[in-house]
Amino acid sequence: MSERKVKVLHIDVGGCEGCASLVLRTLPLLRSNFEIHSKYLMDEVSLTERYDVALVTGSICLDDEGEVSKLRKVREVANIVIALGSCAAVGGVTLFARGGQEPKPEHRVWQPIGAVIEVDYVVPGCPPAPVAIKTLLENLLSGKGYFLNVFASAAKMRKFSGYDLMDDVVLTGLCVGCGACVLSCPTHALQMIERHPDLIPEKCIRCGTCYVRCPRASQLLIKRFPVKPKVLSGQATEVVARD
Ligand code: SF4
Ligand code: SF4
């Protein structure tokens, strides 16, 4: 175990802040090994010092130059960048935004943060469970790259939803009828019909949770994008790629 705590930066760039509150809810699970720097916990968060890991929540508004520039700065100062929650990971519900809303009607184009910077891991979920953050960070620290593969591979795809689950798994005959996708959907957009899921399109918020929870789709992701996940070294100061 590292002698010092792993330095984790949390930045929220847009969205409903539900995932930001998730980071706060996870704090009691992280305190022993991780030091969290978040605007919700301190007066000011520095973007000039270095961090081992950055957790980014919310999707990025491409019309907001200040937020885009902040996001680029995060990439410069963090060894590992994690898009936490569906908006940061795949755009999620913000992909339906078309602008015209107060207080900033000029904000029209929202994208997952991977549209602006390279992302090492994505964790879809609206919001994800606190234990997902804890497990991911602990595996980064212990160097167990195998458990991280799906989240690293998913970072290369950027967009996936219930439509992709239908196209890639159900309509190709790969579905084994386990029901994990139905249980994971936050909006009940999936229903089992004759032992296979069916999508209710108007309920799908494009959060991507079902896709990474599906044992078949997650294996497809790993095969399509065979990346070596970055993990923290034993001293939590350098980053190495693991098979
Ligand atoms: S079907 Fe449900 S879990 Fe899947 S992307 Fe749509 S809302 Fe998310
Ligand atoms: S999680 Fe995947 S394999 Fe399981 S029912 Fe849903 S689509 Fe089928």
**Beta-strand relationship, 230-232 and 6-12:** unpaired
Cis preceding-peptide flag for 127 (omega within 30 of 0): yes
Phi, psi dihedrals of residue 121, rounded to the nearest 5°: -140, 145
Output the residue whose Cα is nearest ligand 1's atom 8: 207
Q: pTM for this one?
A: 0.92
Cis preceding-peptide flag for 186 (omega within 30 of 0): no
CB neighbours of residue 90 within 10 Å: 29
The encoded tokens of residue 43 equal 């007066």
| Mean pLDDT, the chain, whole residue set | 91
**Beta-strand relationship, 190-193 and 196-199:** antiparallel
Q: Tell me the CA–centroid distance for residue 208 and ligand 1, in Å.
A: 6
Q: Amino acid identity of 211?
A: Y
Output the residue whose Cα is nearest ligand 2's atom 7: 175
For domain 6-158+224-237, which architecture applies? 3-Layer(aba) Sandwich (3.40)
- pLDDT tops 50 at residue 236: no
Question: What mean pLDDT comes out for the span 103-118?
Answer: 94
The atom number, within ligand 2, closest to the CA of 190 reads 6
The encoded tokens of residue 22 equal 């998730």
DSSP 8-state secondary structure symbol assigned to residue 167? I
Which numbered ligand comes closest to the C-alpha of 164? 1
Which numbered ligand comes closest to the C-alpha of 163? 1
Q: Tell me the CA–centroid distance for residue 181 and ligand 1, in Å.
A: 8
Tens of pLDDT, residue by residue over 75-94, are: 999 999 999 999 999 999 99
Fold of 162-222: Alpha-Beta Plaits (3.30.70)
For residue 170, what pLDDT is reported?
98
Which numbered ligand comes closest to the C-alpha of 209? 1
- pLDDT tops 70 at residue 49: yes
Tens of pLDDT, residue by residue over 95-106, are: 999 999 888 899
Is 162-222 the same fold as 6-158+224-237?
Answer: no
User: What is d(CA 169, CA 177) in angstroms, rounded to the nearest whole number?
Assistant: 10
- pLDDT tops 80 at residue 213: yes
- pLDDT tops 90 at residue 218: yes
Tens of pLDDT, residue by residue over 12-25, are: 998 898 999 999 99
- pLDDT tops 60 at residue 237: no
- Spell out the domain ranges in the chain: 6-158+224-237, 162-222
DSSP 8-state secondary structure symbol assigned to residue 94? G
19 Cβ closer than 6 Å to some ligand 1 atom: no
DSSP 8-state secondary structure symbol assigned to residue 5? P
Output the residue whose Cα is nearest ligand 2's atom 6: 181
The encoded tokens of residue 5 equal 């705590």
